[in-house]
Homo-oligomer: A and B are copies of this chain.
């Protein structure tokens, strides 16, 4: 399945969230990760993320498309460099 995860996380936790997401998905832009993932991996990723965030302050949005062919992705403009510059 194809997953897009967007997040709005306090600066104290954002590095941890990014590092965790990078284990499973691809960073595309500020606070956006995406990619193909199995259901089991997705559940694991979710539970690990939800141990990191403070649900009273932070937020995580999960967009899941079971069959990647049902999603069309395009982009315009400058491709962002890789995330390594943040770590």
Among B28, B62, B75, B76, the residue within 8 A (CB) of A75 is B62
Among B29, B62, B66, the residue within 8 A (CB) of A31 is B29
Instruction: Say if the beta carbon of A15 comes within 8 Å of chain B.
Output: no
How many chain A residues touch the partner (CB < 8 A)? 38
A66 CB, min distance to chain B CBs, angstroms: 7
Measured CB to CB, the nearest residue on chain B to A53 is B77
Among B4, B7, B32, B77, the residue within 8 A (CB) of A58 is B77
Instruction: Say if the beta carbon of A82 comes within 8 Å of chain B.
Output: no
Measured CB to CB, the nearest residue on chain B to A31 is B30
Among B8, B53, B60, B77, the residue within 8 A (CB) of A59 is B77
